[in-house]
Amino acid sequence: MDYERYDRVRAVIWNGNALDLLDQRVLPLQQTRVICGDVGEVAQAIFDLVVRGAPAIGIAAAWGLVLAARRVEAGSGSEAAAALVGATNQLNEARPTAVNLAWALRRMNAALASAGANWRDVLASEAAAIEAEDLVANRHMGQLGAALIAAGSGVLTHCNTGSLATSGFGTALGVIRAGVAEGRIGKVYAGETRPWLQGARLTVWELLQDGIPATLIADSAAAYLMSTGQVQWVIVGADRITANGDVANKIGTYALAIAARHHGVKFMVVAPSSTVDMRTASGSEIEIEQRSESELLGYAGQRTVAEGVRAWNPVFDVTPAELIDAIVTERGVVLRPDAQRMAEAWNGVDLS
């Protein structure tokens, strides 16, 4: 397929000296880029949601470690790894739920462990490889996921899982891009995704750049939309997939899965293998990030509720495996995931 036609946005760019991030807090009204010159700025950008989406966070963290290495004097990779523990922890703590962040940092440190005096070059090469492999994986996942969809289907997606959330093309949005290109998807709906409105601000804007029409809906309209028969698949990404097939993703995903099951709508999760966490048995063991209640009490710096009102703001939820019809990674498709099927799919695969 013509990938360039359906993939025109880049959120994370390494320019050789610094990390150049498209500021996703101000899209679509402004297209501003934030330049990060040290590891602290990268960690803050991850925490502040300048960069977001599990794969993009992992890529940004990898380059953050490259920036941190500039302040380290070491004769070997193992010495450098020891000196970079503080930077690794700083990046790891920026967003605890998305497993790609920890995965990317583990991979970077593993590359360091066997490096010699050229450890800085090794570190930069590993970050570049993480980024390049993500793009290849996304394009392959797009084809695998699209193959599950009958021609002319309507789909609903949640949050943003496209080029803005990855190195390019996207995970769930990559399936949608491939499905549109192949004529399998006739209509795309996007939920607004409160409270940060990633669907409203990012997903429909990103699809617009590629000439893909998308219809925005309120999150609370999703179940009714399903009841009308206009949607055959819900397609979402993931921030962590556990050994039994449970999936942590943006808050609201669980509600969509429940509504989809009730209405006979299929539910697909699309994520790279770096999102699979076979060390975690089930979703009940996942740390769910809690963000400031101010994100619910106002918008764009303007308070919208009465003084004295309190809020609860988990930004992820866990969808049980039994509500998922397919998990798609670049390694293949797991249908009706459970602990046994996940174990079979990932038997012998090194996810460290």
For the record, the structure tokens of 93 come out as: 């703590």
Residue of 210, 219, 239, 317 marked active site: 239
Tokens of 38: 């040290």
What backbone torsions phi and psi does residue 268 show, to the nearest 5 degrees? -120, 135
Collapse the DSSP code of 234 into the 3-class scheme (helix H, G, I; strand E, B; otherwise coil) and give the result.
Answer: strand
Q: Where would I find the beta strands (DSSP E) of the chain? A: 12-14, 19-22, 33-36, 153-157, 185-191, 215-217, 233-236, 240-242, 247-250, 266-270, 276-277, 298-299, 302-303, 316-319, 326-329, 332-335
In a 3-state reduction of DSSP, which class is residue 310? coil
Query: Which one, of 278, 276, 272, 312, lies nearest residue 292 by Cα?
Result: 312
- Pair 266, 232: CB distance under 8 Å: yes
| 121 tagged catalytic | no
Instruction: Please report the DSSP string for 123-186 in residue order.
Output: HHHHHHHHHHHHHHHHHHHHHHHHTTSPTTEEEEE-S--SGGGSSSS-SHHHHHHHHHHTT-EE
Backbone torsion region of residue 308, taken as left when φ is above 0, otherwise alpha when ψ lies between -120 and 50, otherwise beta: left
State the amino acid at position 299 in one-letter form: Y
CA dist 157 and 190 (Å) reads 5
Q: At what angle do helices 119-146 and 172-181 cross, to 10 degrees?
A: 50
CB 148 within 8 A of CB 114: no
Distances (CA, A) of 115 to 102, 112, 121, 351: 20, 5, 9, 21
The two tokens of residue 189 are: 């709906």
The SS3 assignment for 116 reads coil
- Catalytic residue ranges: 239
